[in-house]
């Protein structure tokens, strides 16, 4: 080989880019489907667990981090009150919500925006919603309905909304928990109030573009976009009904009655083929069949009892006609999507026996699932029609909150740059999950 040819070959390999890394700019990832598409990730944890690259102090909250453009964004709640209570009534707590921007490589605080807020909600540890990062802007929704649009680089406030004040909306018992959604030039939000269950804002200016529907209260289900019947449909699951509207105008396509006990509709509707599933407390389930040629839906069955899946903390998913999710009683369950028949269930990976609202938040990556368990463990597993198989486990954070008499951490991680970004009520950490080259 000639010297100059060898140099060319060396140069090509030296400067060839590695497989592209992905951001995690919103709840459930870049495609809002809880799928981590990066490769080059470890198969098992190294001895002693994965390496923690950095730790940054934060305050309380259930809101997961978002990762975009070399930065990590998350929300928390600073207060001198004791908010580590799992009460089911409304008490008053005073403090300040914050939006934090951290350097993705080091965890260093780049900027902070905060504002005073009085909590009147149950489980008052902090905000629920993961920030949304889009085209240089960050959208952050607090637990009492304060929506803020900030410049991602500087933290400057570009516009803000106060949902209870501006729409005469009452904060739900467990606070505002419906993660906002970007749709083209719109920011879609669950707001509340008469005729304004959902509101679309111009994402640049905050100007209202449309409002739609009413409900007894907001519920907690995030707005969801699907393609069905030849059009894009915005699904709005709320106490009283599941409805489909035109995301460009808010005009209703169809609606079907649905009611969960105590307004506890939390999951985002799950689509598989022509079938759409929703479930909520207490064993309230519904399967719809969508029309192929127009935006319409018919009910196939409802309320299949404990054989179906009634999620409270964990978003379920469908694969090959099977729905997988954590049921309210704290078991991981597989259900045949069309028939509503239970295929199997297990209390793993949370515990040996079911714990009410037992929580393991999962993300799919290839044929595996990454699960952040309420105990603070990160678990690698396989979940199939045949059952659950735990492949490895490592303790990465301590549970700093409590629920039903046990210590828990209930915050959705982000997976980006072959790393995991996790938080509790004391710190946000970055964990290295990259495989050796």
Could you tell me the two tokens for 290? 């969508």
More confident residue, 13 or 270: 270
DSSP state of 80: S
The answer to whether the beta carbons of residues 289 and 300 sit under 8 Å apart is: yes
pLDDT (mean) for 427-435: 98
The answer to whether the beta carbons of residues 159 and 165 sit under 8 Å apart is: no
Say what the pLDDT of residue 302 is: 95
Which helix H or strand E contains 301, and what residues bound it?
Answer: strand 297-302
The rounded percent of the chain whose pLDDT value lies above 70 is: 95
The answer to whether the beta carbons of residues 148 and 157 sit under 8 Å apart is: yes
3-state secondary structure of 238: strand
Say what the pLDDT of residue 14 is: 36
Say what the pLDDT of residue 387 is: 98
Q: Taking Cα atoms as reference points, which of 161, 255, 171 lies closest to residue 213?
A: 255
Say what the pLDDT of residue 7 is: 35
- DSSP letter for each residue of 402-422: EETTEEE-----EEETTEEEE
DSSP state of 234: E
Question: How many of the other CB atoms lie within 10 Å of CB of 124?
Answer: 25
List residues bridging with 238 in a β-sheet: 241
Say what the pLDDT of residue 396 is: 98
Which stretches of 121-267 are DSSP H helices? 163-167
Cis-peptide, bond into residue 349, ω within 30° of zero: yes
Could you tell me the two tokens for 138? 């960050």
Residue 256 burial (C-beta neighbours within 10 Å; 0-12, 13-18, 19+) = middle
- Taking the C-alpha atoms of residue 60 and residue 229, their distance in angstroms, rounded to an integer, is 43
- DSSP letter for each residue of 314-356: S--EEETTEEEEE-TTS-EEEEETTT--EEEEE-TTT-SS--T
The separation between CA 398 and the C-alpha centre of its own chain, rounded to angstroms, equals 20
pTM listed for this prediction: 0.94
At residue 16 the predicted structure's pLDDT band, cuts being 50, 70 and 90, is very low
Say what the pLDDT of residue 305 is: 86
Asked if pLDDT for residue 437 goes beyond 50, the answer is yes
Say what the pLDDT of residue 391 is: 98
At residue 9 the predicted structure's pLDDT band, cuts being 50, 70 and 90, is very low
Residue 7 burial (C-beta neighbours within 10 Å; 0-12, 13-18, 19+) = exposed
Asked if pLDDT for residue 110 goes beyond 60, the answer is yes
The answer for residues whose C-beta is within 8 angstroms of residue 246's C-beta and 6 or more apart is 231, 232, 233, 234, 252, 253
Asked if pLDDT for residue 8 goes beyond 50, the answer is no
- Taking the C-alpha atoms of residue 170 and residue 216, their distance in angstroms, rounded to an integer, is 10
Say what the pLDDT of residue 6 is: 36
pLDDT (mean) for 130-153: 98
Say what the pLDDT of residue 20 is: 56
Say what the pLDDT of residue 231 is: 98
Which helix H or strand E contains 9, and what residues bound it?
Answer: helix 3-15
Domains present along the chain, CATH in parentheses: 22-432 (2.130.10.10)
Question: How many of the other CB atoms lie within 10 Å of CB of 304?
Answer: 20
How do residues 174-210 score in pLDDT, each as one tens digit?
A: 999 999 999 999 999 999 999 999 999 999 999 999 9
- 429: number of CA atoms within 13 Å, CB side? 17
The rounded percent of the chain whose pLDDT value lies above 90 is: 89
């Amino acid at each position: 080989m000639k010297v100059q040819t060898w140099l060319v070959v060396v140069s090509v390999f030296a400067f060839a880019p590695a497989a592209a890394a992905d951001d995690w700019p919103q709840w459930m990832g870049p495609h809002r489907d809880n799928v981590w598409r990066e490769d080059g990730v470890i198969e098992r944890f190294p001895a002693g667990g994965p390496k923690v690259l950095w730790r940054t102090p934060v305050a309380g909250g259930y809101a997961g981090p978002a990762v975009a453009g070399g930065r990590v964004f998350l929300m928390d709640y600073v207060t001198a009150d004791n908010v580590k209570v799992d009460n089911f009534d409304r008490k008053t707590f005073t403090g300040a919500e914050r939006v934090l921007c951290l350097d993705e490589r080091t965890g260093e605080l780049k900027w902070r925006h905060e504002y005073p807020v009085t909590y009147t909600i149950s489980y008052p540890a902090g905000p629920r919603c993961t920030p949304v990062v889009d085209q240089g802007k960050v959208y952050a929704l607090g637990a009492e309905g304060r929506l803020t649009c900030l410049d991602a680089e500087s933290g400057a406030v570009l516009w803000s909304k106060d949902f209870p004040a501006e729409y005469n909306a009452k904060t739900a018992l467990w606070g505002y928990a419906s993660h906002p959604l970007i749709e083209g030039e719109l920011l879609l939000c669950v707001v509340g109030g008469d005729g304004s269950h959902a509101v679309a804002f111009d994402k640049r200016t905050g100007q209202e573009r449309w409002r739609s529907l009413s409900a007894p209260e907001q519920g907690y289900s995030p707005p969801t976009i699907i393609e069905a019947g030849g059009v894009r449909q915005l699904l709005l699951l709320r106490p009283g009904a599941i409805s489909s509207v035109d995301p460009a105008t808010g005009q209703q396509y169809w609606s079907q009655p649905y009611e969960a006990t105590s307004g506890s509709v939390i999951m985002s509707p799950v689509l598989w083929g022509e079938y759409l599933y929703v479930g909520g407390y207490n064993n309230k389930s519904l399967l719809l069949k969508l029309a192929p040629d127009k935006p319409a839906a018919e009910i196939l069955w409802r309320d299949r009892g404990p054989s179906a899946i009634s999620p409270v903390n964990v978003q379920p998913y469908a694969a090959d006609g099977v729905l997988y999710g954590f049921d309210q009683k704290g078991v991981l369950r597989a259900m045949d999507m069309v028939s509503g028949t239970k295929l199997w269930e297990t209390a793993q990976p949370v515990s040996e026996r079911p714990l009410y609202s037992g929580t393991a938040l999962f993300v799919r990556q290839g044929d595996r699932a990454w699960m952040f368990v309420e105990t603070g463990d990160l678990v690698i597993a396989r979940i199939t029609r045949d059952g659950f198989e735990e492949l490895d486990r490592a303790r990465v954070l301590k549970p700093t909150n409590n629920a039903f008499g046990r210590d828990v951490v209930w915050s959705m991680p982000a997976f980006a740059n072959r790393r995991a970004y996790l938080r509790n009520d004391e710190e946000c950490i970055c964990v290295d999950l990259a495989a050796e080259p």
